[in-house]
Amino acid sequence: MSSELEANVRRLVDIEDIKILKRTYAKHCDDNYDPDGIASCFTEDGVWDGGPLGYAEERSGIREFFANTPNLVVFAVHYTTNPIIEIDGDSAKGTWYLWQPMVVATGDQAMWLSAHYNEIYKRIDGKWLIERLAIDVKCFSPYEAGFGQVRFAEIPE
């Protein structure tokens, strides 16, 4: 196999591995925000930057942050789509769209969340992990009113 073909195959495998990592992250979020599972998707010095949704540093801080999330969000389904992933050796960047129907605990309010994920990945010991995840929220809207009438509702704490 030529070195160019080998490099292309390696790149495609890396992209698929990162897609699996993202799906694993979403699965843990949809599993009642499993804090251990979510934290396992990040590097030890990882950052979860949710903007108005919160912020956590390091794997232990991410675990602690998500341990409380089930008290705030009682239901969520993360639809992550349209990935663009750029590989650079053992580092990578990715962007995704998020569409998330959810229910917040306050008043059992159904909500729509739409956002863009901007992520940096690092391969450590042959395994891709999230080094930095940043969420750019596009709407956080009550189900009944929708994003046509209420683009950004107050985020419960």
- On average, the pLDDT of the chain sits at 95
Per-residue pLDDT of the chain (157 residues; tens, 9 = 90+): 689 999 999 999 999 999 999 999 999 999 999 999 999 999 999 999 999 999 999 999 999 999 999 999 999 999 999 999 999 999 999 999 999 999 999 889 999 999 999 999 999 999 999 999 999 999 999 999 888 888 888 877 6
Summarised one tens digit per residue, pLDDT across range 40-62 is 999 999 999 999 999 999 999 99
For the chain, domains (ranges, CATH) are: 3-149 (3.10.450.50)
Task: Indicate the residue type of 49.
Answer: D
- In a 10 Å sphere around its CB, with 0-12 CB exposed, 13-18 middle and 19+ buried, how is residue 126 labelled? exposed
Q: What is the pLDDT of residue 87?
A: 98
Q: Which of 78, 96, 84, 89 is nearest to 37 (CA)?
A: 78
Q: Which of 51, 57, 15, 23 is nearest to 39 (CA)?
A: 57
Cβ atoms of residues 140 and 153 within 8 Å: yes
Q: What is the pLDDT of residue 1?
A: 61
- pTM comes to 0.94
Q: What is the pLDDT of residue 66?
A: 97
Summarised one tens digit per residue, pLDDT across range 60-71 is 999 999 999 999
In total, the chain counts a number of residues equal to 157
CA dist 133 and 88 (Å) reads 17
